[in-house]
Chains A and B, each alone.
Chain A
Amino acid sequence: MPKDRLLIGLEIGTTKVCAVVAEIRPDGSLRIRGVGESKSAGIRKGEIVDFAKATQCVRDALADAEEKADVEISSVWASVTGGHIQSFNNRGMTQIPQDRGEIDEDDIRDVENSAREVNIPDQNAFIHTMIQHYFVDNQDGVLNPIGMLGNKLEADFHIVHGIKTRIQNTLRCISDVDVDVEDVVLNSVASAQVVLDQHQKDLGAIVMDIGGGTTDYLVYEGGVIRHTGVLAIGGDHITNDISIGLRIPIARAERLKIDEGSCEIESVMPGETIILKNDLGFSGCEVERSVLNRIIYARIRELFELVEKDITAHCEIHLVGSGVVLTGGCCQLTGIHEVARDVFQLPVRSAAAQEVAGPTSVFQNPQYATAIGVVKYAQLMDVTTERRTLFGGLGRRIEGLFKAFRIL
C-alpha cells in the first residue's frame, strides 16, 4: 500500500454536505487531514430534490476540503441514504465442481450471485451484498472458505437495495463536479465502522444515526450485520414539529432546538419559560419549556419505537450485548438517552468516531461520524479488494459492479 494513500469520504446529508480527507498511515491507522463542509440546499430526507443546488453544495464542500487538507480531490467514496432503501437476509448456495473440490474465488462469486437471485423490484439496484457467514458442507462458522475442501458452499448475506435512479442522482451530483465515485456505502454501515470497535460488533450492537432528514439504523450480531434500515425521519421533523406546535418560523425553531432542545419531560419546572428575542420579521415571544420538551419527546419516542419495532421483527434484540449507540446530530439532544433506554431496554450511549487521529473537534463531533465512517469503510474495502486481487480477479469484479451505478 502506498504510504501517502488518501481516501475521501463524502456525505451528502440533509443538513450539510461533508467531505473528509483522510490519509492511511503505513501502520494502517487513519489520520484526518481536513474536513470540508457546506450547508445543504436542495436535499430533503437524504434525497436530492433540487439537482442544481445540491451539486453546488457538493462543489463547495469538496473545494473547502481541498483547501483545508491541501490536496486535490479526484475521487471520493460516497454515502447514500433515503427512505427507499430496503434490506433483507438471504442464503446463497453453490455446488463445487466434482473435479476440483477446492473452493476458490469463482465459487465465492457464484454463491454471492446465487444469494442475489432474489426478485427485487425492477427499478431497484443492489447497494450492498454483505457476507454474514459461510457454510462449507453444512459446517458452521467458516470465516474464509478459500482453499478449503468441500462439495457445497453456502453463505448468508445481508442484501441492501434501493431505487436505482435516486442513487444515480446522488452520484451524478458528484460526477457533475468532475470527481469520480469509487463506490457507495449505506450511511448506517459507514457510521457503524467508526462508532463500534470489533469487540462491540462481536457482542452485538444497535447503531442509530439520527441525522437531519433520515434515521439510519443497523444491527450487528455476532460480528456481522444482521439488519439495516432507513427511516425518513430526522432532526428536520423535530424542527418542523416545534415550528407548528409553537407557531414560530422554521429558522427560529431550528435555533431553539439546537440551543434548548431536550426531551426531558419530568424534570421540567412548571411554568418555566424560554424567551425568544425579537428578530427581523419575528416579534419575539415566550414559550413554555414543558411544551417544547413535550413536542420533542413525542417525536423522539415515536422514532425509537418505530425503529425498535422494526428491529424486533428481524432480530433477537436480547442478543444485542453492547447496547444502543446513538450518533448523528440529533444525539446531542438532552435527555435522548433516557428515552432510548426506556424504549429499547438496553444500555444507551452516544458515540463519535473512535480510533482515528486528527483534529479532535472533528472526530468527537457525532455530526461527522458518517463521513469519517465512509473513509473507514473505504479503507476496509480497499484492503479486502487488494488482498483479493492478489488471489484472483475479484478487484476487477468489484469495479465492474459499481460501474453499473455510473451514468457516464
Chain B
Amino acid sequence: MIPIPRSTLKAGAEPSAVTCIIGIGNAGVALVDALTLAGAADHTRLVAVNTDSVSLSASVAKEKLLIGQKTTRGLGSGGDPELGAQATEEAEAELAAVVDGAGLVILCGGLGGGTASGAAPVIAEIAARANAIVIAVLTLPFSFEGKRRARQAVDALHDISRAANAVITFENDQMSEIAQPMAGLHETFAASDQILADSLAALLRLVAGSGPMKITLADLVPLFRPGSVSARFGTAGAQGGNRANQAVERALKSPLLRDKHLSACDHVVFHIEASSSLRFVEVEAVGRALAAQLSDTSQLHLAVSINDDLADTLLVSVLAGGSPCPREVVAQGKQPERIVAPSHDDSYPEEHNNSLPPPIETIQQITNPRAGDELFNTEPFSVLKDSPVRRNNKPKQETLSLDAIARGRFEKSEPTIVGGEDLDVPTFLRQKIKLR
C-alpha cells in the first residue's frame, strides 16, 4: 500500500512563492553559475554570495552579494569560518532582503573553507527567521584536505542543521565512485557539480510539479522535523519498456543515496515525473520497489507530475528524512535543536501552505535524462544501452525490426556496446554492406 497524505491531493492553481537558491563561497558560486548557464534562473532567484570580490565579479549570476566588505575587504575569508560568520553578520540586512518573501531557500556551498562554513549557518538562520523553508545542499571536503577542514565542515554542518529544515550532504570522497579511475580532474569535478545540480533541479521539480499528485512545501516539513539533519536524496531517469524499474533502481543507487539504508528513514517522499504516457502500473512498480526498502512504520509520500517535454523518459526522485545524521552528530553525542522552525502545518503560514512556484520547464535542461543516466548508473553497459546515441542511429521503425531479429542469440544477454554501437548486431547490417 502506498499511503497518500490528503494534502498532496490538493488541486487548483496556487499563487507562486519564490524559490531562492543561494550559492555561498567559491563552490556555491560555481554551482549557481552552472545553474544560471543551464537556464534555471528564469523561474528561480539565483544569488551568488561570497567574501571574495574576484570570484564574484567572474560569476555570471544575475544577483551577486559581496559580504564582509569591512571584515575581509573583498579578499576572501582565507579558510577561517569565524571571518565568514562575521562577514555575514555584517551583511545581515542585505541578506534578509534577499530571502524576503521566498517560500523555499536552498543554500549550497562547499564546507570546509571559510566562507560557506561560516556564512551558511548565519544565512540559514536569517532565512528561517523569514519563514522560509531552508534546505542546505552541501559538499564535505576530501579527506586528504586534512582534519582541520573536516572539523570545520562538521562544526558548520552541525550549526546549519539547527536552523535549516533539511541538510543534504555530498562527500567529495564519494566522487571516486562516480568518476572512472584515472579520469581527469576536470571530469571528476564536473561530475560532482553535476550531481549537485541534478539534486537541486530534482528538488525544484518536486515542489514545482504540476500534479496530478502534488507535494507542497508544507508536506516536506515533517520529513525534516527536529532531529533529522541528514536527508538522503536520489534521482534518476530511464527510458524504454522497463523504465519504471530501471529508474527506481538507479535512483536508489545514486551517489547521495547509495549505501544508505532507507529503512532508517521514517518519511520518504518519492516523485515520479513523466509524459502523459505514464501508466498506473509504472507508478505502482516504483512504489512497490521503494516500499520493499522501507521499514513497516515509515511513511511514503507520493507525488506524480506530468511533463510532456520528457518524451519517453521517466524520472524518479527519492527524498528520505526523519532519521538522525549517521556520522557527525551522533559521534559528538549532540542532538541538534532547531531555533526557528516551521515544524508542522498549523504553524506554517497559510499563504505558504497553498503556494507553489510555477512549473520550471527549463530545469529539464540541466537534468536532462542523458546526463542523469550516465552519471548515476554504475553499469557501463546499461548506461549506453539507453544512451541516445544508439537510439538516434536509425529511424525508429528500423531499430525495432533490427532489435527483434538481428541480435539473434544475444537477445537475452548483455549487449556489447562500444562507441555507442551495439556490436551484437551483425557488422554487415550496421555497416550496410551489400552481401549480394
Flag whether A240 is at the interface (Cβ < 8 A). Answer: yes
CB-defined contacts of A121 to chain B, threshold 8 Å: 177, 180-181, 378
Interface-facing stretch out of B158-166, B339-347, B362-370, B426-434? B426-434
Interface-facing stretch out of B35-43, B313-321, B407-415? B407-415
Flag whether B148 is at the interface (Cβ < 8 A). Answer: no
**B110 vs chain A, min Cβ distance (A):** 19
The total of interchain contacts (Cβ-Cβ below 8 angstroms) comes to 93
**B433 vs chain A, min Cβ distance (A):** 5
CB-defined contacts of A232 to chain B, threshold 8 Å: 414, 416, 423
Flag whether A45 is at the interface (Cβ < 8 A). Answer: yes
CA distance A84 to B414 in the complex (A): 10
Flag whether B130 is at the interface (Cβ < 8 A). Answer: no
Flag whether A299 is at the interface (Cβ < 8 A). Answer: yes
Contact B413–A45 (Cβ < 8 Å): yes
Q: Tell me how many residues of B have a C-beta within 8 Å of chain A.
A: 32
CB-defined contacts of A49 to chain B, threshold 8 Å: 412-413
Contact B427–A244 (Cβ < 8 Å): no
Contact B436–A241 (Cβ < 8 Å): no
CA distance A34 to B296 in the complex (A): 58
Contact A240–B409 (Cβ < 8 Å): yes
Flag whether A41 is at the interface (Cβ < 8 A). Answer: no
Interface-facing stretch out of A275-283, A290-298, A398-406? A290-298
Flag whether B380 is at the interface (Cβ < 8 A). Answer: yes
**A122 with B181: in contact, given A44-B413, A240-B408, A244-B408 (CB under 8 Å)?**
no
CB-defined contacts of A295 to chain B, threshold 8 Å: 426-428, 435
Contact B181–A250 (Cβ < 8 Å): no
Contact A298–B182 (Cβ < 8 Å): no
Most B CB contacts (10 A, CB to CB) among A44, A90, A236, A240 go to A240
Most B CB contacts (10 A, CB to CB) among A44, A237, A243 go to A237
Partner of A123, one of B378, B406, B408, B426: B378
Within A212-261, the residues touching B (CB, 8 Å) are: 231-233, 236-237, 239-241, 243-245, 250
CA distance A395 to B181 in the complex (A): 28
**Residue on B with the closest CB to A82?**
B414
**Residue on A with the closest CB to B188?**
A119
CA distance A122 to B173 in the complex (A): 12
Flag whether B393 is at the interface (Cβ < 8 A). Answer: no
Within B121-167, the residues touching A (CB, 8 Å) are: none
**A298 with B431: in contact, given A231-B418, A241-B426 (CB under 8 Å)?**
yes
CB-defined contacts of B407 to chain A, threshold 8 Å: 240
Flag whether A146 is at the interface (Cβ < 8 A). Answer: no
CA distance A243 to B406 in the complex (A): 10
Contact A119–B418 (Cβ < 8 Å): no
CA distance A213 to B410 in the complex (A): 10
Flag whether B348 is at the interface (Cβ < 8 A). Answer: no
Flag whether A83 is at the interface (Cβ < 8 A). Answer: yes
Contact B179–A119 (Cβ < 8 Å): yes
Contact A88–B408 (Cβ < 8 Å): no
Within A101-125, the residues touching B (CB, 8 Å) are: 118-123
Contact A90–B182 (Cβ < 8 Å): yes
CB-defined contacts of B380 to chain A, threshold 8 Å: 84
Partner of B182, one of A118, A244, A299: A118
Q: 0/1 per residue, B208-219, Cβ < 8 Å to A? A: 000000000000
**Residue on B with the closest CB to A293?**
B435
CB-defined contacts of A240 to chain B, threshold 8 Å: 407-410, 424, 426
Flag whether B405 is at the interface (Cβ < 8 A). Answer: yes
Contact A45–B378 (Cβ < 8 Å): no
Flag whether B7 is at the interface (Cβ < 8 A). Answer: no
Flag whether B277 is at the interface (Cβ < 8 A). Answer: no
* B interface with A by C-beta (< 8 Å): 175-177, 179-182, 258, 378, 380-381, 405-410, 412-414, 416, 418, 423-424, 426-429, 431, 433, 435-436
Other CB < 8 Å A-B pairs besides A288-B436, A299-B427, 9 of them?
Answer: A119-B175, A122-B378, A233-B423, A240-B408, A295-B427, A295-B435, A298-B426, A298-B433, A299-B428
* A interface with B by C-beta (< 8 Å): 44-45, 47, 49, 83-84, 86, 88, 90, 118-123, 161, 231-233, 236-237, 239-241, 243-245, 250, 288, 291, 294-295, 298-299, 301-302, 306
Q: Can you name 14 A-B pairs with beta carbons within 8 Å?
A: A49-B412, A83-B381, A118-B181, A119-B176, A119-B181, A121-B378, A122-B177, A231-B416, A240-B409, A241-B426, A244-B405, A245-B426, A250-B409, A298-B431
